[in-house]
């Protein structure tokens, strides 16, 4: 079997790197023979990369070996696209969904040369449309993560390389004691549990007129933003109130969640302080609170309560130090305080985005359909890291 172009590049780059490392380790200048070898290797690498751009993009993308990523948790500032970029050329990171949709639908590629090249490696979907290249789909995932309040609050993202993913979670801590010399150390039970993520499906279909795609000046941003924002809102909703049945499990419906019930009318910050210390009672440190715009307005209007004194009530430090996220995804009667890195969102490694002019009635109406299908899951890993306040009136 002939060596693939990809393997040739890896071999040549590895040889080049080895020579450079050897020279550096020996603390000397390169010999004339080494210089000639380095120049030759660099020219070969440049030629291979140029051939991909000019002639071999489809074969290159089709034959990529993607890295296996599992059991890692991405923080809010870490990119899903970077983690799963595989060996794609860096230029594909600059793809724009709006420009690609416009080009596919109207044939207008002005200012979208990169997107036009990308379609050379794009497969047809079952609906007769186009599947958006994976680097662009992953970038839309990052846009959604950036807009998600639960991710901003610290929820981790677990890339799922299959339809299910099991991770271990600690249910009880070991007991540590002091012992004299030669004393027998007692064995303590540590309870571990299993958190099982399943790739549930969330999807949306966006219908746009082809005239709008052709004429809209903001097509570069409106398509990406619309899909990313919709995904972010649903991620937040399910992370907060998801049932766990065919969708992620939200904090409100999680197990072992601390509760502060029958809050009633908010006249001070006492119930929030109760929630903070309920979480601290299990050795977690809450970093953020989430509540509805209605609750946020009530908090902002609270006054000292002294006769005829309209001075705003100063929040205690334990509440003031929390990050605040105000979202309608939290009901008016509920507020959540928690250490949000104890909530994990599992994401399958690709958001599938398809574009079609033929599906449904799109052809007859001169429209285009954009379908986005996301698969993933989410759950609180340790319910004791959260406190749910209920009964706010």
pLDDT at res. 148: 93
pLDDT at res. 13: 66
pLDDT at res. 6: 55
Give burial (CB, 10 Å; 0-12/13-18/19+) of 68.
exposed
Query: In which domain, by residue range, is 225 found?
Result: 73-164+197-393
Pairwise CA distance, residues 358 & 356, whole Å: 6
Q: Does a structural domain hold residue 50?
A: no
CATH number, domain of 298, equals 3.90.1690
Of 345, 375, 349, which is closest to residue 64 (Cα–Cα)?
349
Q: Does a structural domain hold residue 99?
A: yes
Specify the DSSP class assigned to residue 207.
E
Q: Name the domain count of the chain.
A: 1
pTM: 0.72
Q: Does a structural domain hold residue 214?
A: yes
Q: How far is C-alpha 180 from the geometric centre of its chain's CA atoms?
A: 50
Pairwise CA distance, residues 327 & 291, whole Å: 6
3-state secondary structure of 49: helix
Q: Does a structural domain hold residue 238?
A: yes
Q: Does a structural domain hold residue 189?
A: no
pLDDT at res. 294: 96
Q: Does a structural domain hold residue 279?
A: yes
Q: Does a structural domain hold residue 27?
A: no
Per-residue confidence in pLDDT tens, the chain, 393 aa: 344 555 676 677 667 667 876 777 787 888 888 888 888 888 887 777 666 544 444 443 444 344 444 447 888 878 777 776 655 566 666 788 888 888 888 888 888 888 887 776 555 554 455 677 777 788 788 888 889 999 999 999 888 878 888 887 767 777 788 889 888 888 776 677 778 899 999 998 888 888 888 888 787 788 888 888 989 999 999 999 999 999 999 999 999 999 999 889 998 999 999 999 999 999 999 999 999 999 999 999 998 877 677 788 899 999 999 999 999 999 999 999 999 999 999 988 678 888 888 888 888 999 888 888 889 999 999 999 999 999 998
Strands 288-291 and 323-326: parallel
**How does DSSP assign 217-280, residue by residue?**
TTHHHHHHHHHHHHHHHHHHHHHHH-BSSSSPBPGGG-SS-EEE---BS-SSSHHHHHHHHHHH
Q: Does a structural domain hold residue 386?
A: yes
Rg of the chain (C-alpha set)? 27
């Amino acid at each position: 079997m002939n060596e693939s172009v990809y393997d040739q590049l890896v071999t040549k780059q590895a040889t080049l790197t080895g020579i450079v490392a050897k020279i550096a380790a020996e603390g000397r200048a390169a010999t004339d023979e080494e210089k000639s070898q380095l120049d030759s290797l660099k020219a070969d690498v440049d030629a291979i990369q140029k051939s991909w751009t000019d002639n071999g993009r489809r074969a290159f993308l089709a034959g990529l070996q993607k890295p296996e990523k599992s059991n890692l948790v991405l923080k809010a500032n870490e990119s899903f696209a970077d983690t799963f970029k595989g060996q794609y050329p860096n230029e594909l990171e600059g793809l724009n969904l709006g420009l690609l949709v416009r080009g596919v639908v109207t044939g207008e590629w002005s200012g979208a040369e990169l997107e036009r090249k990308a379609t050379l490696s794009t497969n047809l979907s079952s609906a007769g449309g186009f599947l958006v290249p994976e680097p662009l789909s992953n970038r839309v995932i990052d846009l959604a993560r950036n807009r998600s309040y639960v991710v901003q609050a610290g929820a981790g993202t677990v890339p799922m390389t299959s339809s299910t993913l099991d991770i271990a979670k600690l249910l009880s801590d070991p007991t540590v004691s002091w012992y004299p010399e030669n004393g027998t150390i007692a064995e303590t039970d540590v309870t571990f549990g299993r958190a099982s993520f399943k790739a549930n499906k969330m999807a949306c279909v966006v219908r746009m007129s082809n005239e709008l795609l052709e004429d809209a000046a903001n097509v570069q941003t409106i398509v990406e933003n619309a899909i990313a924002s919709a995904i972010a809102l649903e991620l937040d909703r399910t992370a907060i109130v998801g049932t766990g049945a065919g969708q992620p499990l939200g904090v409100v419906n999680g197990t072992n969640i601390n509760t502060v019930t029958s809050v009633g009318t908010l006249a001070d910050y006492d119930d929030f302080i109760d929630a903070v210390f309920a979480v601290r009672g299990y050795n977690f440190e809450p970093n953020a609170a989430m509540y509805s715009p209605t609750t946020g307005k009530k908090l902002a209007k609270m006054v000292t309560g002294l006769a005829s004194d309209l001075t705003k009530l100063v929040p205690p430090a334990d509440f003031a130090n929390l990050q605040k996220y105000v979202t309608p995804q939290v009901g008016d009667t509920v507020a959540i305080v928690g250490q949000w890195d104890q909530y994990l969102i599992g994401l399958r490694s690709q958001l599938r985005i398809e574009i079609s002019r033929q599906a449904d009635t799109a052809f007859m109406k001169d429209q285009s359909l954009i379908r986005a299908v996301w698969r993933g899951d989410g759950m609180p890993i340790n319910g004791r890291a959260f406190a749910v306040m209920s009964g706010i009136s």
